[in-house]
């Protein structure tokens, strides 16, 4: 069994940024489970499916093969042998992932892949249900959050920096809607595990959060 660090929390809390830095510092493999849901979302979008058509989504899971590989320590996600990493982070894919990830069959499809990665090596894995469901015996569990306002400001700055024009209010609305979907779904809703350490990064710098998590690790 590898050493397992689970980081859960809402969208935009900085989980991946923080987890990558902790992974580098501690020599863990960083596993981004959101990217796996996004890869399945790409599959559903390619088939032109609506997220409301649950039966079609479940059926489509049968011919989706999601795989993970690491190139120079960076996670690469494969969908049916095609590297889809570069197209995972669009709003369209994110919305499809958010709407289809509540479906139990979609979650079941990725469960064993996530558990097997953690069995074989030391990992820091981020997602929504890692500490509560995927790795209930993780050595360290963190629930990383930040206010909607902070997360919207960060996202706004990120997009503006890339030269993408955007509306702050729209972003904040989108983040709140995604929180509601992730927290209120029936299957594996986003919530803090009873034994997870809560870190609210609203008024913290990235190095401060990294340091706090490293202090929790062996």
- Positions that interact with ligand DC (CB under 6 A): 11, 33-34, 37-38, 94, 97-98, 101, 127-129, 178, 182
Q: Looking at beta carbons only, is 8 or 122 nearer to ligand DC?
A: 8
Q: Residue 155 Cβ, how far from ligand DC at the closest point, in Å?
A: 11
Q: Residue 8 Cβ, how far from ligand DC at the closest point, in Å?
A: 8
Q: Looking at beta carbons only, is 31 or 210 nearer to ligand DC?
A: 31
How far apart (Å, rounded) are the C-alpha atoms in residues 202 and 212? 14
Q: Residue 94 Cβ, how far from ligand DC at the closest point, in Å?
A: 6
Q: Looking at beta carbons only, is 122 or 151 nearer to ligand DC?
A: 151
Report the sign of the C-alpha dihedral through residues 22, 23, 25, 27, in that order.
positive
Q: Looking at beta carbons only, is 91 or 195 nearer to ligand DC?
A: 91
Q: Residue 79 Cβ, how far from ligand DC at the closest point, in Å?
A: 15
Q: Looking at beta carbons only, is 109 or 178 nearer to ligand DC?
A: 178
Q: Residue 110 Cβ, how far from ligand DC at the closest point, in Å?
A: 8
């Amino acid at each position: 069994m590898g050493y397992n660090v689970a980081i859960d929390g809402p969208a935009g809390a900085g989980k991946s940024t923080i987890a990558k830095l902790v992974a580098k510092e501690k020599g863990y493999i960083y596993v981004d489970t959101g990217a796996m849901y996004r890869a399945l979302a790409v599959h559903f979008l390619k088939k032109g499916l609506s997220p409301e058509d649950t039966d079609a989504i479940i059926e489509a899971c049968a011919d989706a093969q999601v795989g993970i590989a690491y190139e120079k320590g960076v996670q690469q996600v494969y969908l049916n042998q095609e590297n889809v990493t570069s197209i995972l982070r669009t709003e369209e894919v994110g919305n499809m992932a958010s709407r289809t990830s509540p479906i139990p069959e979609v979650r079941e499809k990725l469960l064993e892949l996530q558990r097997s990665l953690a069995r074989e090596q030391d990992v820091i894995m981020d997602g929504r249900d890692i500490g509560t469901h995927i790795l209930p015996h993780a050595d360290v569990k963190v629930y990383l959050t930040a206010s909607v306002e902070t997360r919207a400001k960060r996202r706004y700055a990120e997009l503006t920096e890339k030269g993408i024009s955007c509306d702050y209010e729209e972003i904040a609305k989108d983040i709140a809607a995604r929180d509601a979907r992730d927290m209120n779904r029936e299957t594996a809703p986003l919530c803090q595990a009873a034994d997870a350490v809560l870190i609210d990064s609203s008024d913290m710098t990235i190095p401060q959060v990294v340091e706090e998590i490293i202090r929790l690790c062996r």
